[in-house]
């Protein structure tokens, strides 16, 4: 599927593939697109939503729906997701990624490549997973990460998710690259944390990129800047 080149009709409904930038939240992307489209086309009100959150420190594929197509967001959310990323063995962090400083250190000198690869088998198929406390899940009406940042106690329930593929490559301890294909609702940070724990060691995620949602691929997606330029060009013609 090539990048979309048709004339947009945002109120009627568009499904957009966007490559989320680093340090943007998924809501940042939605809010930017909504505001920009409304301004360019003089639209007073426009529904815009995304089909699956990416953390600020992650990049990659977001499916954005506008107008009447926001009704299809649940269908897109239900699709399997594919990620590539990096993890660091021998350490843990409270957020399970690089957002927070390391709180534990472990010796990785005895870990072998065979042992590491074998441990991935524990996480394939349907598994129970507890989301990170540094997540957007609501607890007592407030996002869990807001409780966590204030050092307030947070209890999150485990959930069943399915990991179809979990592969390691470029193993150069303490750094490892990985690829995961999984069901909706899977937290890759938790997967990495639990992977380290299964080896009586530690691990946290140092980078993540979502490459696929169902059959949609990040290679087909617009960067925010590419999309902005296309909309700007079309809006000029629209408003003539």
Tell which residue, 108, 67, 48, 93, has the closest CA to residue 192: 93
Segments of the chain assigned E as strands:
15-20, 48-50, 58-66, 81-89, 91-92, 104-105, 125-129, 138-139, 142-143, 159-172, 175-182, 203-213, 216-217, 222-223
Neighbours of 231 (CB within 10 A): 20
Q: Do 124 and 167 contact (CB within 8 A), yes or no?
A: no
Out of 55, 103, 167, 215, the active site residue is: 55
> CA-CA-CA-CA torsion for 100, 104, 109, 115, nearest 10 degrees?
-80
CB-based contact 111:171 (threshold 8 Å): no
55 is catalytic: yes
Q: Which helix (H) or strand (E) holds 39?
A: helix 26-41
Distances in whole angstroms, Cα of residue 14 to Cα of each of 43, 69, 70, 208, 225: 15, 6, 9, 27, 18
DSSP SS3 for 62 = strand
Whole-angstrom Cα distance, residue 215 to residue 222?
16
Give catalytic residue positions. Answer: 55
């Amino acid at each position: 599927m090539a990048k979309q080149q048709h004339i947009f009709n945002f109120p009627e409904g568009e499904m957009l593939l966007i490559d989320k930038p680093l340090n943007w939240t998924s809501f940042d992307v939605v809010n930017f697109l909504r505001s920009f489209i409304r301004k360019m086309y003089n639209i007073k009100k426009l529904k815009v939503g995304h089909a699956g959150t990416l953390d600020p420190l992650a990049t990659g594929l977001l499916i954005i729906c506008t107008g009447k197509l926001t009704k299809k967001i649940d269908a897109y959310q239900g699709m399997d997701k594919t990620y590539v990323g990096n993890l660091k063995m021998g350490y843990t962090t409270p957020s399970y990624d690089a957002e927070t400083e390391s709180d534990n250190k472990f010796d990785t000198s005895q870990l072998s490549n065979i042992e590491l690869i074998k441990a991935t088998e524990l996480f394939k198929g349907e598994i129970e997973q507890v989301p990170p406390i540094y997540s957007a899940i609501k607890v007592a009406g407030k996002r869990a990460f807001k409780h966590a940042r204030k050092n307030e106690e947070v209890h999150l329930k485990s959930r069943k998710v399915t990991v179809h593929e979990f592969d390691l490559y470029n193993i150069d301890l303490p750094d490892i690259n990985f690829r995961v294909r999984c069901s909706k609702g899977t937290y890759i940070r938790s997967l990495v944390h639990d992977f380290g724990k299964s080896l009586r060691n530690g691990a946290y995620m140092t980078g993540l990129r979502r490459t696929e949602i169902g059959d949609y691929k990040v290679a087909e997606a617009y960067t925010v800047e590419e999309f902005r330029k296309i909309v700007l060009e079309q809006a000029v013609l629209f408003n003539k």
